[in-house]
Amino acid sequence: MSEIIYSNQYEYLSSLRSEPDALIKEMEEYAEANRIPILNWKAAELLEQIILMIRPKRVLEIGTAIAYSSIRIARKLRKKGIVDTIEKSLDNISLASDFIKKADLSEKINLIEGDALDIMPQLSKKYDLIFLDADKEDYEKLFYYSLVLLKKNGVIFIDNLLWHGFAASSKVPPNYKNSTKMIREFNKLFTNQKALETTILPIGDGIGIGVKI
């Protein structure tokens, strides 16, 4: 359940959701059962709509997890569209590979194994869309690397900017204090970034969208 909007609103929106196909449903259930964070389904729908609007040829995803969003992105790309997705967890890489094969998207999703902090400086081609959803302590560095790799008029899509609602709360549990502090600092950096037109939307766990100007 979303921590950002009222529960009755979330339930209402859920009642309007079309039944996901078997693979997406399987991945959502697997992620929930195994406590693997994936993009909220409403945020995933927003991401899909952006892809349909801007029609990107090259997409970079920072944080693959089990490839839930990778698959949803790839399905909406044009015929020659490609997703490069970076993941450092060996367990996640194995799961992601299996799901990508099951989705028959191995030719559209390029799974890059390793730490994005090491990999991104080595990338030379620019991207039309970048999706950032990695370790929160690395957000600032990964964000700056993303700005370098993002094409002019390209879009950056960032998850978790309301951080379970704690970014806007005066009462933060002790185990979330440090991460909440990092998210608040990042949000100031993001919204004051002169290279982007930015907004943060109360969708999913809080989505930041920036367009490079």
What's residue 2's pLDDT?
Answer: 43
**Cα–Cα dist 78/116, whole Å:** 25
What's residue 91's pLDDT?
Answer: 96
**Helices 22-33 and 90-102, packing angle to 10 deg:** 160
123 Rama sector, left if φ>0, alpha if ψ -120 to 50, beta otherwise = beta
The Cα-based distances of 211 to 52, 187, 198 in angstroms read 16, 15, 7
Going from the first residue of the chain to its last (213 residues), give the mean pLDDT of each consecutive group of 10, the final group possibly shorter.
Answer: 70 90 97 96 97 98 98 96 98 98 98 98 97 95 98 98 93 94 97 97 95 98
What's residue 27's pLDDT?
Answer: 98
Q: What are phi and psi of 171, to 5 degrees?
A: -115, 105
The domain at 7-212 falls in which architecture? 3-Layer(aba) Sandwich (3.40)
What's residue 156's pLDDT?
Answer: 98
| Domain boundaries along the sequence of the chain | 7-212
